[in-house]
């Protein structure tokens, strides 16, 4: 006999989820402990603790939760709490009662070194004491917020000390970027990580995937029927992705000298944006399936041909100039940067995807420091109308439609199209359909780190990078790095590299390859 369940809904009654008919999934993490290695550093202060605090303040942390900060700096619970209080005041809005409740869950232990047995034993003891007190059921997250040089010792220490053992509950490790510095080192690091943790325990962060408007790309594409039919080579002329920053290298000279723009922004953030814009719809909105579709895009990336490098790659480095009316130093004059450094702070690239949907459609990618303003935008530039029936009255061309995803700082989706100008004359005008992302929403907006930390607690890996995704993006970037850094194949010519004034949109020469294709870089203000 089938079993009949009693429901409160009458036949024919429309069941709307709560929240006025907007389809929302409720997500509340379960109990867990959160251990931050490198807790004295910039990332912990500026991003991690403020993000965890805001999650707590917004009721998005389990009541069974606590944090242990660990690093070599001299500190104790009290001084760590007061350092973090300053950080939260600086990088977040501050609420005294919320802070009081949060800070009671904050502890600190000094390490002699990251892999040091005795130090990790002290963490283990504290962890088991607090696990009992806070009822975290043995679930724990280890966040590696140290420079990469400390990753392996920390991971080894976690295994050797038994800290990461899953005797009770689960154990996860979060690894920051940079994940390696080229394909070979990334593979070696990954092999090491996977000797100590299973893939399902490893959370490789790309905080761009946690940005609200970046996640919205998927919703926008796959929850609306009207865009998908034109999302392909038949209708799209080209795609532009720009991540522009007005900042320079700030206090991260040591790191940036080792990284440069290609490792810092292209290998991760920009290729992930490309993957989201170009991916196929997965059959179900489920972490592994979405991840697989992103990976397929990276697999379809055509590697830049060395002989064609001039037409598809340009590099740049900023010299002193003015941003926001303030004179700023050039890259080589920044604190900690050698005066002869050739590390690029700007790159522009033209890439193609070898698949059915995108064959022949150029994707222009651009990122740089010290632009006049901070803006991240993706533009889908559609083709011209197939027949210009207004030719006699309006001339030979009308600007094609464009769909613009404004990712930051102004979060919007805009559609540029034409209408008739009011009045007796026959003329067109460009207008924008403009949707502000926060419009009509009064709930909590999660900042990128809040979102990825929350997902890690929930065990949802959709917004993290898989082993395969990481490997494919390094496979694409590494030959370019070899070329730029002088390890290219014999006979290959390094791409041209130009200086650009701070406060401009990169070197004018970088406009060349897009202009040679009859196009221009867009910034929809």
Catalytic positions: 269
**Residues within the interface to ligand BG6 (CB under 6 A):** 177, 245, 264
Nearest alpha-carbon partner for 85 in 72, 95, 74, 75? 95
b (16+ CB within 10 A) / e for 130-151: bbeebebbbbbbbbbbbebebb
Angstrom distance (rounded) from CA 196 to CA 144: 14
Task: With residue 260 as reference, give the H or E element that holds it.
Answer: helix 253-261
Choose which of 91, 192, 220, 255 interacts with ligand NDP (CB under 6 A): 255
Least Cβ distance, residue 451 to ligand BG6 (angstroms) = 12
At its nearest, how many Å lie between ligand NDP and the CB of residue 73?
Answer: 3
260-279: burial string, b at 16+ Cβ within 10 Å, e else: bbbbbbbbbbbbbbbbbbbb
Give me the helix-helix angle, 96-103 and 49-57, nearest 10°: 110
Interface stretch with ligand NDP, choices 56-64, 140-148, 227-235, 441-449 (CB under 6 A): 140-148
Q: How far is CA 387 from CA 110, 184, 383, 391, 396, in A?
A: 71, 51, 11, 9, 10
Q: What's the closest the beta carbon of residue 429 comes to ligand NDP, in angstroms?
A: 43
Structure tokens at 513: 């390859």
Q: How far is the CB of 448 from ligand NDP (least distance, A)?
A: 10
Task: Determine the residue with CB nearest ligand BG6.
Answer: 264
**Contacting range for ligand NDP; rule: CB under 6 A; set: 125-133, 144-152, 287-295, 400-408:** 144-152
x/- letters, 110..129, toward ligand NDP (CB under 6 A): ----x---------------
Backbone angles phi, psi at 11, to 5 degrees: -60, 135
Integer-rounded Cα Rg, in Å, for the chain is 25
Q: Which does 185 bind (CB under 5 to 8 A by kind): ligand NDP, ligand BG6, none?
A: none
The maximal CA–CA distance of the chain, rounded, in angstroms, is 84
Does 414 sit near ligand NDP (CB under 6 A)?
no
* 72 binds, options ligand NDP, ligand BG6, none, Cβ within 5 to 8 A by partner type: ligand NDP
**Which residue among 149, 339, 419, 439 contacts ligand NDP (CB under 6 A)?**
149
The span from the CA of 520 to the CA of 463, in Å, is 32
By CB under 6 A, the residues from 2 to 61 that bind ligand NDP are 38, 40-43, 46
User: Residue 245 binds which one of ligand BG6, ligand NDP, none, with CB within 5 to 8 A depending on kind?
Assistant: ligand BG6
Question: Which one of ligand NDP, ligand BG6, none interacts with residue 148, CB within 5 to 8 A by kind?
Answer: ligand NDP
Residue with tokens 């450094």: 341
The label of the residue with tokens 């949802």 reads 460
Contact string 59-78 vs ligand NDP (x = CB under 6 A): ------------xxx-----
Q: Which of 50, 56, 115, 148 binds ligand NDP (CB under 6 A)?
A: 148
Per DSSP, the three-state class of 402 is: strand
When binding is defined by CB under 6 A, the residue of 131, 176, 245, 334 that contacts ligand NDP is 176
Name the phi and psi angles at 289, rounded to 5. -70, -40
Question: Whose Cβ is closer to ligand NDP: residue 44's or residue 241's?
Answer: 44
Residues that bind ligand NDP (CB under 6 A): 38, 40-43, 46, 71-73, 114, 145-150, 176-178, 255
């Amino acid at each position: 006999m089938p079993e009949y369940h009693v429901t409160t809904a009458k036949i024919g009654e429309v069941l709307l989820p709560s929240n006025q008919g907007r389809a929302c999934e409720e997500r509340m993490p379960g109990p867990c402990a959160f251990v931050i290695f490198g807790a004295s550093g910039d990332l912990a202060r500026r991003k991690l603790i403020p993000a965890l605090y805001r999650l707590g303040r917004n009721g998005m942390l389990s009541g069974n939760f606590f944090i242990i900060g660990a690093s070599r700096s001299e500190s104790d619970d009290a001084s760590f709490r007061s350092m973090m209080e300053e950080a939260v005041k600086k990088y977040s809005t501050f609420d005294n009662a919320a802070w009081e409740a949060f800070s009671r869950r904050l502890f600190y232990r000094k390490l002699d070194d990251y892999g040091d047995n005795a130090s990790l034993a002290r963490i283990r003891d504290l962890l088991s004491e607090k696990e009992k007190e806070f009822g975290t059921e043995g679930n724990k997250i280890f966040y590696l917020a140290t420079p990469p040089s400390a990753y392996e010792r920390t991971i080894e220490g976690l295994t050797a000390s038994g800290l990461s053992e899953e005797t009770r509950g689960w154990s996860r490790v979060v690894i920051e970027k940079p994940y390696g510095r080229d394909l070979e080192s990334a593979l070696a690091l990954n092999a090491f990580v996977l000797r100590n943790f299973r893939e399902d325990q490893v959370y490789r962060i790309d905080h761009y995937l946690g940005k609200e408007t970046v996640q919205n790309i998927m919703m926008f594409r796959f929850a609306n029927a009207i865009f998908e039919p034109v999302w392909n080579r038949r209708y799209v002329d080209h795609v532009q992705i720009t991540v522009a920053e007005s900042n320079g290298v700030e206090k991260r000279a040591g790191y940036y000298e080792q990284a440069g723009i290609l490792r810092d922004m292209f290998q991760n953030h920009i290729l992930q944006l490309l993957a989201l814009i170009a991916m196929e719809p997965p059959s179900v909105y489920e972490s592994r399936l979405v991840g697989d579709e992103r990976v397929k895009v990276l697999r379809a990336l055509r590697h830049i041909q060395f002989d064609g490098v001039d037409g598809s790659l340009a590099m740049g480095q900023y010299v002193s100039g003015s941003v926001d009316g303030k004179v700023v130093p050039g890259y080589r004059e920044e604190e900690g940067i050698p005066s002869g450094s050739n590390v690029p702070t700007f790159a522009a690239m033209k890439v193609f995807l070898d698949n059915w949907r995108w064959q022949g459609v150029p994707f222009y990618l651009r990122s740089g420091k010290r632009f006049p303003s901070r803006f991240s935008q993706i533009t889908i530039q559609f083709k011209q109308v197939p027949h210009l029936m207004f030719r006699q009255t309006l001339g030979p061309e009308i600007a094609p439609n464009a769909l613009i995803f404004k990712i930051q700082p102004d979060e919007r989706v805009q559609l540029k199209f034409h209408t008739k100008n009011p009045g007796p004359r026959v003329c067109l005008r460009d207008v924008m359909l403009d949707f502000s992302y926060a419009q009509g929403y009064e709930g909590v907006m999660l900042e990128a780190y809040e979102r990825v930390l929350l997902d890690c607690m929930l065990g949802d890996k959709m917004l993290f990078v898989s082993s395969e995704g990481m490997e494919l993006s390094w496979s694409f970037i590494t030959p370019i790095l070899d070329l730029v850094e002088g390890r290219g194949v014999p006979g290959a010519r390094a791409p041209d590299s130009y200086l650009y004034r701070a406060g401009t949109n990169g070197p004018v020469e970088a406009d060349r390859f897009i202009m040679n294709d009859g196009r221009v870089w867009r910034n929809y203000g």
